[in-house]
Structure 1
Amino acid sequence: MAFEGLTERLQKAMEKLRRKPKVTEADLRETMREIRLALLEADVNFKVVKDFVKTVREKAAGAEVLKGLNPAQQIVKIVNEELTKLMGEEAVPLNKAKHIPTVIMMVGLQGAGKTTTAGKLALRLKNEDHARPLFIAADVYRPAAITQLQQVASKIDVPVFEKGTDVDPVEIVREGMEVAKKNHNDYVIIDTAGRLQIDEQLMDELANIKKLVNPNEILLVIDSMTGQNAVNTAEGFDDKLDITGVVLTKLDGDTRGGAAMSIRAVTGKPIKFVGEGEKMEDLDVFHPDRMASRILGMGDMMTLIEKAQKNFDEEQAQETMDKMRENTFDYNDFLAQLDQVTKMGPIENIIKMMPGMANNPALKNINIDPKQFAHIKAIILSMTPEERENPDLMNPSRRRRLAAGAGRPIVEVNRMIKQFNQMKKMMKQVTNGNMSGMQNMFGGQMPGGKMGQMAMNRMARKMKKDKAKRIKKLRKLRKKRK
């Protein structure tokens, strides 16, 4: 997962401060040194690191911080604020045209993931804006580039305008724009050519396309695993094209984070989206404050909640919460929830969004095999309808029959039933607003200390606040059905 090394180093530096009853100037210097080394190891631009450390030191060196209550927490707060500023402070939305179509140019080097990102963006626009996008295949050089775009487009049911590989890309874009206007497409996404490195011929072509269509967005797609080279690439494209934003891909890989933390500071251009997975749904808006929180190991509860809201059926979620509260949650409900949770992405990534869990020793190098979920489903599907509706029926003989039916060891069946009962008990407490269920899950202590406690409390308040809205919406749905 992204930033693991950086997060671990920063957390260790902060933990040393927290253990001290009083923070001295010497302690602050030592912490700043460790932060500087951590950022440099993460491949953050040297000048960016120098300016960042200087700003944090100046703000933290004040007498009101070092002599005040909880100086360590105040320094963590300063680091968090400065990290957020470094990456842009707030999310920046897509620029939209006053009249359709909104034109988006996707640019970048070969291998950065331009075509796949174009598909992810189109799907996001379809799902969230109910848009009707059109792709223009303007990469006539890379072998099978047009075929790849067509394959991506077919997965998400978006049309592609192409004229083969023997037509000038500028002419292809010109004709594609006419088709978009004729068909009233809301968005036009131009998949341009890339190179292994920036060259004059590529830039001239891109500049000519820009001059022709005057795009609302020129999004530079960058492989986040390239570190500081990503910053050099961004500067090169920005000098020639005046890009409007950046999309970072492969942020779920073994990336050190240097690109994400350097690009905005060096180019002044915002990171608008990040790709954190291989599925077409794996494109998220970049929130600097949430990323800073993740880097410091405080989790990312807002993104976790948004993922849940996006992937969970609201009516079904309300019914599930009611069942948990009434203690009637059964294996049919568990199976439905399991299907929805797996849609949110790798479970290890979801867990690490929880405060304090990013570098929890118990979760170090955690890798949950998707086959485990298939095994759980096999066990549940081996139950009779009566057993699924009444979990208390699971006596030893029934468990042995389930193990034989699912082809799994009896110990695995027992473990699944135990986990189901624990989850059922914990979620009943949480849905009633009692966060002790969450505390018990983590051995009596909230993850992430005070920060974790605050995040969990925010989540509980949000759940209570949303409850009335869900019930109101559910009643409307039921009324419509009648």
Structure 2
Amino acid sequence: MFENLTDRLSHTLKNVTGKAKLTEDNIKDTLREVRMALLEADVALPVVKDFVERIRERAVGQEVQKSLSPGQMFVKIVQGELVKVMGDANEELDLAARPPAVIMMAGLQGAGKTTSVAKLSKWLSERKKKSVLVVSADVYRPAAIKQLETLASEVGVHFFPSSADQKPVAIAEGAITEARNKHYDVVIVDTAGRLHVDEQMMTEIRDLHAAIDPVETLFVVDAMTGQDAANTAKAFNDALPLTGVILTKADGDARGGAALSVRHITGKPIKFLGMGEKTDALEPFHPDRIASRILGMGDVLSLIEEAEQKLDKQKAETLARKIQKGKGFDLEDFRDQLQQMKNMGGMASMLDKLPGMGNMAAMAQQKMADEKPFVQMEAIINSMTPQERRFPDVINGSRKKRIAAGSGTQIQDINRLIKQHKQMQKMMKKVSRKGGMANLMRGLGGMKGGPGGMGGMGGMMPPGGRFPGM
């Protein structure tokens, strides 16, 4: 996300970082470039005008003239204004109501509402330890109810049955009664979408909202529609008392216009980003972290939180002890590391959150579509015998042919994997000799600081971050 905007702004802001003093004249061209970068990112024009004017006012004021490094201060101003336009801080869901807390999801057809219901229910049950009941009041879209039932089963939350011949209000009220009787913490109501905003739709959803009085009314919108997302959100906000927005398909949006426009136009906070199709691909929206990503400064905090949730620390500790005792890093260990990286959303997702790695993340995203390299490498290792995985040096020509046939790959793919494994093996030995293996593999400890720096993530990445085809 934001790749195009990051590239443009990074290039533009380099022109002012060395300035001794900022004046109207020497920032004029930079502001013009910032304006163009935002417009190309499909940020709404009123947002762009207001944003650029606020930067101009702050940049030529006393605040910068007193700074020892005005150029760096200019970049800080841009970052601060990015945070401000997106909402200052993450706004959490308000679930303080008497149980069950009711959340209503609204939005256009195709925006990803039903999938977002499943993602949010999983997030609430795993991160907030809430018992969740989901229900579909979408009686118009074929198979909508069945889709939610399937997703609820997949993420392990309870589903309240409904049918297309019922009224949406009756469905929602039935689910809330059930939740109250069985002491669920949260009820999430999926509503019907339309292909466009129309009065009939708005009347129906207003009636549903009045009947169930939800504590949260979240508007689900496709980030890839750019400033249209903000305009659609405004139309819904005029009809409903929205409490927040979920931006879906944010991983496919290279521009970022929706994220920068929604808050300004609707006055409502973005509460979550949908970052992929998987049911755990939902991130709380932190404006300060997103601003850092836009400016190529990374988002290490989100990476740490993800690591806490998804890394198998026990495996990491076991591998650290194994290598410290002088035992080699074999192909089974390599496979474990690949699986850990997949759990973290893949190489592109990790690089996107590391400072200065935005361009590499975009390259990785292109080269590693559909996680094909991960799948291929796992297939190759799985096609080996336990002895071959533990002692890769025994893999000769005839064994390579058998492994290639078993994994549906070519012999050159086997050779590439073995070469990468040897490179990683060397790195592990080097780190072990320096006494840094524990930091490298503990992940969280390594990322939070100290001599290991970001070493914790290095344990999951082949040297140079390169995989087949990259």
- What TM-score results when the alignment is normalised by the length of structure 1? 0.83
When residues 409 and 174 of structure 1 are mapped into structure 2, their CA distance, relative to the original with a 3 A threshold, is closer
Determine the structure 1 residue equivalent to 2:356.
356
Determine the structure 2 residue equivalent to 1:341.
341
Query: Which has the higher mean CA deviation after the structures are superposed, 20-29 or 210-219?
Result: 20-29
> C-alpha separation between the residues in 1 aligned to 2:100 and 2:2?
37
Confirm or deny that 1:229 pairs with 2:218.
Answer: no
> C-alpha separation between the residues in 1 aligned to 2:113 and 2:51?
31
Determine the structure 2 residue equivalent to 1:450.
none
Q: What amino acid sits opposite 1:353 in the alignment?
A: K
Q: Give, in angstroms, the shift of residue 405 of structure 1.
A: 2.9
> C-alpha separation between the residues in 2 aligned to 1:133 and 1:159?
6
Equivalent residue runs for 1:304-453 within 5 Å: 304-325=303-324, 328=327, 329-360=329-360, 363=363, 366-368=366-368, 370-389=371-390, 394=393, 398-407=395-404, 408-426=409-427
Confirm or deny that 1:247 pairs with 2:236.
Answer: no
Query: Is the Cα contact below 8 Å between 2:351 and 2:361 reproduced in 1?
Result: no
When residues 93 and 47 of structure 1 are mapped into structure 2, their CA distance, relative to the original with a 3 A threshold, is same
Query: Is the Cα contact below 8 Å between 1:43 and 1:227 reproduced in 2?
Result: yes
Q: What amino acid sits opposite 1:460 in the alignment?
A: G
Q: Give, in angstroms, the shift of residue 67 of structure 1.
A: 7.6
Query: Is the Cα contact below 8 Å between 1:195 and 1:202 reproduced in 2?
Result: yes
Q: Give, in angstroms, the shift of residue 194 of structure 1.
A: 1.5
Q: Give, in angstroms, the shift of residue 95 of structure 1.
A: 0.8
Query: Is the Cα contact below 8 Å between 1:150 and 1:160 reproduced in 2?
Result: yes
Query: Is the Cα contact below 8 Å between 1:375 and 1:406 reproduced in 2?
Result: no
SS of corresponding position for 1:278: coil
When residues 326 and 422 of structure 1 are mapped into structure 2, their CA distance, relative to the original with a 3 A threshold, is farther
Determine the structure 2 residue equivalent to 1:446.
none
CA RMSD of aligned residues (A): 3.1
> C-alpha separation between the residues in 2 aligned to 1:357 and 1:110?
35
Confirm or deny that 1:92 pairs with 2:91.
Answer: yes
SS of corresponding position for 1:194: coil
Query: Is the Cα contact below 8 Å between 2:90 and 2:287 reproduced in 1?
Result: yes
SS of corresponding position for 2:187: strand
Determine the structure 2 residue equivalent to 1:83.
82
Of all paired residues, the percent bearing the same amino acid is 47
Q: What amino acid sits opposite 1:311 in the alignment?
A: K
Determine the structure 1 residue equivalent to 2:291.
292
SS of corresponding position for 1:461: coil
> C-alpha separation between the residues in 2 aligned to 1:466 and 1:350?
13
Alignment size in residue pairs: 444
Query: Which has the higher mean CA deviation after the structures are superposed, 339-348 or 426-435?
Result: 426-435
Determine the structure 2 residue equivalent to 1:32.
31
Q: What amino acid sits opposite 1:26 in the alignment?
A: D
Q: What amino acid sits opposite 2:450 in the alignment?
A: R
Query: Is the Cα contact below 8 Å between 1:102 and 1:186 reproduced in 2?
Result: yes
Deviations 1:385-414 (A, max 9, x none): 4554456xx27xx34344223215554444
When residues 460 and 319 of structure 1 are mapped into structure 2, their CA distance, relative to the original with a 3 A threshold, is farther
Equivalent residue runs for 1:237-276 within 5 Å: 237-276=236-275
Deviations 1:165-200 (A, max 9, x none): 222211222222111112222211111112222222
When residues 233 and 415 of structure 1 are mapped into structure 2, their CA distance, relative to the original with a 3 A threshold, is same
Q: Give, in angstroms, the shift of residue 99 of structure 1.
A: 2.6
Determine the structure 2 residue equivalent to 1:219.
218
> C-alpha separation between the residues in 2 aligned to 1:30 and 1:457?
41
Q: What amino acid sits opposite 1:351 in the alignment?
A: L
Query: Is the Cα contact below 8 Å between 1:399 and 1:410 reproduced in 2?
Result: no
When residues 228 and 36 of structure 1 are mapped into structure 2, their CA distance, relative to the original with a 3 A threshold, is same
Equivalent residue runs for 1:140-219 within 5 Å: 140-219=139-218
> C-alpha separation between the residues in 2 aligned to 1:464 and 1:295?
22
Q: Give, in angstroms, the shift of residue 383 of structure 1.
A: 4.7
> C-alpha separation between the residues in 1 aligned to 2:201 and 2:317?
53
> C-alpha separation between the residues in 2 aligned to 1:198 and 1:382?
53
Query: Which has the higher mean CA deviation after the structures are superposed, 128-137 or 39-48?
Result: 128-137
When residues 229 and 460 of structure 1 are mapped into structure 2, their CA distance, relative to the original with a 3 A threshold, is same
Consecutive unaligned residues of structure 1, counting only runs of 5 or more, are: 439-455, 468-482
When residues 458 and 120 of structure 1 are mapped into structure 2, their CA distance, relative to the original with a 3 A threshold, is closer
Q: Give, in angstroms, the shift of residue 458 of structure 1.
A: 6.3
Q: What amino acid sits opposite 2:93 in the alignment?
A: L
Query: Is the Cα contact below 8 Å between 1:399 and 1:413 reproduced in 2?
Result: no
Query: Is the Cα contact below 8 Å between 1:138 and 1:162 reproduced in 2?
Result: no
Q: What amino acid sits opposite 1:95 in the alignment?
A: D
> C-alpha separation between the residues in 2 aligned to 1:362 and 1:250?
15
Q: Give, in angstroms, the shift of residue 295 of structure 1.
A: 0.9
Query: Is the Cα contact below 8 Å between 2:300 and 2:353 reproduced in 1?
Result: yes
Determine the structure 1 residue equivalent to 2:460.
none
When residues 88 and 424 of structure 1 are mapped into structure 2, their CA distance, relative to the original with a 3 A threshold, is farther
Deviations 1:210-259 (A, max 9, x none): 22222111010011111122112111211221101100001011342111
SS of corresponding position for 1:354: coil
Q: What amino acid sits opposite 1:114 in the alignment?
A: K
> C-alpha separation between the residues in 1 aligned to 2:252 and 2:34?
22
SS of corresponding position for 1:359: helix
Query: Is the Cα contact below 8 Å between 1:119 and 1:280 reproduced in 2?
Result: yes
> C-alpha separation between the residues in 2 aligned to 1:464 and 1:36?
36
Deviations 1:414-442 (A, max 9, x none): 4323323433444566786879x99xxxx
- What TM-score results when the alignment is normalised by the length of structure 2? 0.85
Query: Is the Cα contact below 8 Å between 1:379 and 1:403 reproduced in 2?
Result: no
> C-alpha separation between the residues in 2 aligned to 1:64 and 1:350?
35
Query: Is the Cα contact below 8 Å between 1:88 and 1:270 reproduced in 2?
Result: yes
